[in-house]
Structure 1
Amino acid sequence: MSPQELADFLLNKVRLLCRESQHEQALDVVEQAIQHAPDPTVAWLIKGQILFGLHLLDEAIEATEEALKLGDDAEVLKLKGNILATKGDLASALETFNKLAEIAADDADAYFLRGSILAEMGNADEAIANFDHAIELKPDMGHTWYNKAMVFFNLERYGAAISALDSAIDLMEDATEPIFIKGVAHRRLGQTKDALECFLTAAEIWEMKALVTNSPDAYMDALNAIESAIEIDVTNVDLWRQRGKLLYKLGHKEEAKEILANAAELCVQEDNIADALKTYELLLELEPDNEEAKKAREEIASIA
């Protein structure tokens, strides 16, 4: 086995160990790959990636610097810039991405990354110019459209933000956040019907994700979207039911039960018996042994 073949074998082993979350062993093996590879740039890059994933940021930067001693490499520069940005050293990250753009002028990621740093530094015009350049090189970069939209949003250029968000939504695999932000932009423009549609769509997707993953964060995102919808359509009992259900799922059971009971009572006062029954049925779906809800549902059913 040649030195390169041995290095390739070791790096494949490193990748397998990383997939199995055996990062300490992976670091040991990647050191062997660094020693045997005729050109250890890739091995240093992978070591840096592992250390970055472990949040060992200073050690990760050292790995990228060792790689860069062997020559400029686009993937190494991307990693180094991202680590520096994570550390909060935006000036050094920008310098790194400037170098990346010099050596990889046709790489859309170079301009996306540089634009993202410029946006974070508050340089909106240059950020947009870099995002536009990235899009020219690779029009289907949904995350670039999204970052561009957020620059417009922060500038309160909501129409331009919505236009860019539409492109992001079409291109991103998970476009829930852009859909929600689009709703906020529509609301800022007074376009409440469009805003409501966006909030309801985002809430539905986040709730489906929460049901699959049982993720509190997804439930919270869905709740945030529903509460935004309620601000627009405050008398919509379906939205209040949805809010109660999400609060219950998040563990705020007493608050949820109070919301659902109040919603049902208001429905009764407005002679909306069907919605009152649906509300108590939801409460009993969440809490089958709730005697008060059972009694209230029976009383309402007798009225109907």
Structure 2
Amino acid sequence: MRHHFLFRLVVATLVFSTLEAPILALTVEQSLWKRAESFLLAQSSAENFLNRGDSLYEQGRYQEALVYYDRAIQLKPDYAHAWNKRGNTLNELKRYQEALASFDRALQLVPNYFEAWYNRGNALDELKRFQEAIASYDK
């Protein structure tokens, strides 16, 4: 799809640049460049990074997934879902204290985020902080 779009961009630029209406060519070219720019920006959206992280997570490629979740968070720091996914990935990597911090951040953003409370309980359980784990499960 990307190659098809770029091909159309090149053809349109060549066709319109040979016409006697250079202003029309410039207008079309600018419009196509704006569409190309929007396409590229959409490709780097936080949701796209989250989805790629999810794919890697499902394959058990946790370290790689973590990179994508971190990128999603860089683009959208208030993305509670990405913080929660980051925490799950850190749990899989047995980095429980860091996972706990990620779940806490997700819960700061969305205090009634059930899944984050549950996952927080799992991290606390791994840290042998059982009373706190039970309190998280009860939320």
Distance 1:158 1:68, change over 3 A: farther
Give the Å deviation of 1:155.
2.2
Report the Cα distance in structure 1 between the residues aligned to 2:53 and 2:117, rounded to whole angstroms: 21
Superposed structure 1 runs of 4+ greater than 3 Å apart: 67-71
* TM-score when normalising by structure 2: 0.69
Q: Deviations over 1:107-127 (max 9, x none)?
A: 111211111101110001110
The Cα shift of 1:154 comes to: 2.0
Q: Which runs of 5+ in 1 are unaligned?
A: 1-37, 42-66, 168-304
> Whole-Å Cα distance in 2 between the matches of residues 68 and 93 of structure 1?
21
Q: Structure 1 residues 107 and 121 mapped into 2: Cα distance closer, same or farther (>3 Å)?
A: same
In 2, distance between residues paired with 1:71 and 1:153?
A: 37
Decide whether the 8 Å contact of 2:103 with 2:120 is kept in 1: yes
Question: Which of the two has higher C-alpha Rg?
Answer: 1
Distance change (3 Å), C-alpha of 1:144 and 1:91: same
- Computed over aligned residues only, the root mean square deviation of the Cα atoms, in angstroms, reads 1.9
Counterpart residue identity of residue 94, structure 2: G
How many residue pairs get aligned? The number is: 104
Match of 1:154 in 2: 126
CA distance in 2, matches of 1:166, 1:70: 39
Summarize the Cα distance change of 1:68–1:90 in structure 2 as closer, same or farther, 3 Å threshold: farther
Task: Say which is worse superposed, 73-82 or 140-149, in terms of deviation.
Answer: 73-82
Tell me which residue corresponds to 1:142: 114
List gaps (5 residues or longer) in structure 2.
1-34
Alignment of 1:130 with 2:106, yes or no, is no
Identity of aligned residues (%): 30
- 1:104 pairs, out of 53, 76, 90, with 76
Matches within 5 A, 1:240-251: none
> Is residue 166 from structure 1 mapped to residue 132 from structure 2 by the alignment?
no
TM-score calculated relative to the size of structure 1: 0.32
Q: Which has the higher contact order (CA 8 A, sep 6+)?
A: 2
- Select 2:86's aligned residue among 101, 114, 120: 114
Q: Is the 8 A contact 1:77 1:96 kept in 2?
A: yes
